[in-house]
Amino acid sequence: MKNSANKKRTIKKKYAQGMRGNVIDAAYFYYETAPNYNKDLAIICGGYEKCAPDFEINRSNYPYYFIKCTMKGKGTLIVNNQCYELRPGIVTGFSPAAAHHYVADNRNPMEHIFVTFVGAEAENILKTALSTGRGIVKPTNPSEILEVFRKIFTIGSEKKQYSQSICCNYLRILSLLLGQDSHHLEKDYSQATTTYLECKRYIDDNFSKISSSREVAEYRGINPRYMSALFKRYSQNSPHAYIMRLKLNKAANLLLTSMLSVKEIAYKIGFDDPYHFSRNFKKFHGLSPYDYRNKHI
């Protein structure tokens, strides 16, 4: 206990402003947005902090939505009665009135970058970003996530015309990028999810050559009906519809960017019957391949 007390006094001596929440270095930007902002989305402020060894934030009623990325060092977050380790790349966040407790590792204090926001979209932005239902996510590509945080900080700090709108759009992008990664913290990242993603990836890479969704099921070694159920569960589309839409969008691009005939395009995207291709194309795009090309060129 005595050694612990001496250590705390040493920290306080080294960092003269050694109060709770103290930071060694920091930079912030602010917008004039009111707390009761009720339109789509607005940023209140953002910032960067290099924490002191005694950094500690323990709030029970913060008024804004908050999301932050740990850049360096370590710490812990207690939220919803769960304790999480913070380290480089980890993203955390919470909604208004959510009790949360951040503490820096006193041997290797964290550095972090953050943004606070409000608006009608704010709740969905946070839910998408942290879709595990927890206050934390570990991105699969942390450098990409950190770059978006830095974009928000830089543009927010410069305060040029449209900076608020640009920052809000980056925040939306950040939410979607994190939403892709949130599942990686879930214990129930199931075999079903993995199977669906593997089938989808195979289609994305080979749709021009695929003539039937059954080929995809055979590639993965699963029952076609099971694969169909997975697609309806995760994408609200059948495998056949997903494959067909990819084919027909590629066909539309070829009609506008190549001199290939309609028949050649049909064969190129995996149709054996040009008439069958034309009929599906018209149903999807509203025009026959000939009329689509003539109208848009």
Check pLDDT > 90 for residue 176.
yes
Residues 147 and 220 in one domain: no
- Note the Cα 60 to chain centre separation in Å: 27
Of 164, 185, 206, the position where a domain reaches its end is 185
> What does the pLDDT read at residue 193?
81
Residue 3, pLDDT > 70, answer no
- The set of residues, in sequence order, having a beta carbon less than 8 Å from that of 133 and lying 6+ positions away, is none
Q: What is the pLDDT of residues 97-126, one digit of tens each?
A: 888 899 999 999 999 999 999 999 999 999
Residues 279, 181 share a domain: no
Rounded to 5 degrees, φ, ψ at 135 are: -100, 20
> b/e per residue, 7-36, with b = 16+ CB within 10 A?
eeeeebeebeebeebbbeeeeebebebeee
Does 73 share its domain with 172? yes
Q: What's the DSSP call for residue 173? A: H
Say yes or no: 14 and 155 in one domain: yes
Residues 156 and 206 in one domain: no
For residue 249, give its domain range.
Answer: 191-296
208 in the same domain as 103: no
Q: CATH number of the domain that 152 lies in? A: 2.60.120.280
Strand partners, 137: 91
Which region among 21-25, 197-201, 254-258, 288-292 has the lowest average model confidence (pLDDT)?
A: 21-25
* pLDDT, average across residues 132-136: 70
Residues 181 and 215 in one domain: no
Domain final residue pick, 150, 185, 220 = 185
pLDDT at 139: 87
Tell me: pLDDT of 18 over 60. Answer: no
Same domain, 230 and 137: no
> In this structure, are 157 and 20 located in the same domain?
yes
Residues 103 and 136 in one domain: yes
CB 43 within 8 A of CB 165: no
pLDDT reading at 70 higher than 80 = yes
92 lies in the same domain as 109: yes
Domain boundary among 185, 218, 240: 185
Query: What CATH number is attached to the domain comprising 219?
Result: 1.10.10.60
Query: Residue type for 264, please?
Result: E
**3-state SS assignment for residue 223:** coil
Instruction: Examine the domain organization and report whether 255 and 120 are in the same domain.
Output: no
Task: State the total domains in the chain.
Answer: 2
Does residue 127 have a pLDDT over 60? yes
Confidence band for 188, pLDDT divided at 50, 70 and 90: very low
Instruction: Compute how many other C-beta atoms are within 10 angstroms of the C-beta atom of residue 50.
Output: 18
pLDDT of residue 194: 83
Please say if the pLDDT value at position 270 is more than 80.
yes
Say if residue 233 is exposed, middle or buried (CB neighbours under 10 Å; 0-12, 13-18, 19+): exposed
